[in-house]
């Protein structure tokens, strides 16, 4: 995912969320990981 984003600046959601892999974060670490993906996708780096 990160490699294709760095090359093209575009990431298709199917590259990140394949069926059966999207789940509710169960820990603070998982939540932070999801937030970082969201920031990359939205361009909101604050």
Residue-level pLDDT at 36: 81
DSSP 1-46: -HHHHHHHS---HHHH--TTT-----SHHHHHHHHHHHHHHHT---
Residue-level pLDDT at 7: 62
Residue-level pLDDT at 12: 59
Q: Which residues are CB-neighbours of 5 under 8 A, at least 6 positions away? A: 11, 40
Q: Distance between CA 23 and CA 46 in Å, rounded?
A: 24
Q: What is the mean pLDDT of residues 2-7?
A: 60
Q: What is the mean pLDDT of residues 11-19?
A: 60
Q: pLDDT tens for residues 18-42? A: 667 667 778 888 888 878 877 777 7
pTM of this prediction? 0.42
């Amino acid at each position: 995912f990160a490699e294709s984003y760095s090359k093209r600046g575009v990431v298709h959601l199917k590259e990140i969320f394949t069926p059966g892999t999207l789940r509710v974060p169960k820990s603070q670490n998982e939540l932070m990981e999801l937030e970082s993906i969201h920031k990359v996708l939205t361009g909101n780096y604050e």
